[in-house]
Amino acid sequence: MIRFLRPFDPHRIRLLVFDLDGTLIDSRLDLIHSVNAMLQHIGRPALDGDVIASYVGDGAPALVRRAIGDTDDEALFRAAMEYFLGYYRIHKLDHTTVYAGIAETLANLVAVVVYATDMPALMATADIFAKRFGDAPPSSTWLGTTALAHPDQLVEITATAVDVNGY
């Protein structure tokens, strides 16, 4: 819940800078399907969608560790992680949608900066970027880095949108 300490008129906003890191899309169902496919692959029972959703938020490695049970079996973890990432790369847009009002905001993007620690994740992001923006992309900068704010994070995207109508 957002709480304002003084009067706020959203129509006076001229520039909005936001982080795309999963906050603008509803990818819940694709993540649930990917985790349950991974669990089936390693011979574990499926989990309830609400349980899986409660595991989301700290990156793919944390999601996989929570889903398989925080195990010391690194070979199992690596196999589960590899399967999850491969499945999710193929199915990440099967049911994912943008939240209400986001498409209109994305139409006003003027700049995007993408930071990545993982080349396959960077390439997947580039594919989504190309599909979304086609021949008219916003200005963009793509950077490889050794680490992001969260140690398990593979990609961070920061975007800037401007309301061209002046509202």
CATH of the domain at 34: 1.10.150
Q: What is the pLDDT of residues 100-128, one digit of tens each?
A: 777 777 777 778 888 888 877 778 788 87
Q: What is the pLDDT of residues 129-162, one digit of tens each?
A: 787 777 777 888 888 888 877 777 778 777 777 7
Q: What is the pLDDT of residue 13?
A: 62
Last residue of a domain, one of 69, 91, 113: 91
- pTM of the entire structure? 0.62
The catalytic residue among 9, 19, 30, 70 is 19
Q: What is the average per-residue pLDDT within 35-46?
A: 97
- Alpha-carbon separation of residue 18 from 61, 62, 92, 114 (angstroms): 24, 24, 22, 13
Catalytic residue status for 163:
no
Would you say residue 110 lies in a domain?
Answer: yes
Would you say residue 79 lies in a domain?
Answer: yes
- Cα maximum dimension of the chain: 56
Would you say residue 4 lies in a domain?
Answer: no
Partnered with residue 97 across adjacent β-strands are 26
Last residue of a domain, one of 91, 110, 137: 91
Q: What is the pLDDT of residue 23?
A: 66
Q: Are residues 103 and 157 in the same domain?
A: yes
Cβ neighbours of 161 (radius 10 Å):
19
For residue 131, what are the domain limits? 10-24+99-162
Q: Are residues 55 and 83 in the same domain?
A: yes
Q: What confidence tier does 26 reach under pLDDT thresholds 50, 70, 90?
A: confident
- Structure tokens given for 48: 């309830």
Beta-strand relationship, 155-162 and 15-19: antiparallel
Would you say residue 138 lies in a domain?
Answer: yes
Q: Are residues 76 and 118 in the same domain?
A: no
Q: What confidence tier does 163 reach under pLDDT thresholds 50, 70, 90?
A: low
Tokens 């993408």 — which residue?
A: 114
Q: How many residues does the chain have?
A: 167
The percentage of residues in the chain with a pLDDT greater than 90, rounded to a whole number, is 29
Cβ neighbours of 114 (radius 10 Å):
20
Spatial distance between the Cα atoms of 28 and 101, rounded to a whole number of angstroms: 18
Q: Are residues 33 and 15 in the same domain?
A: no
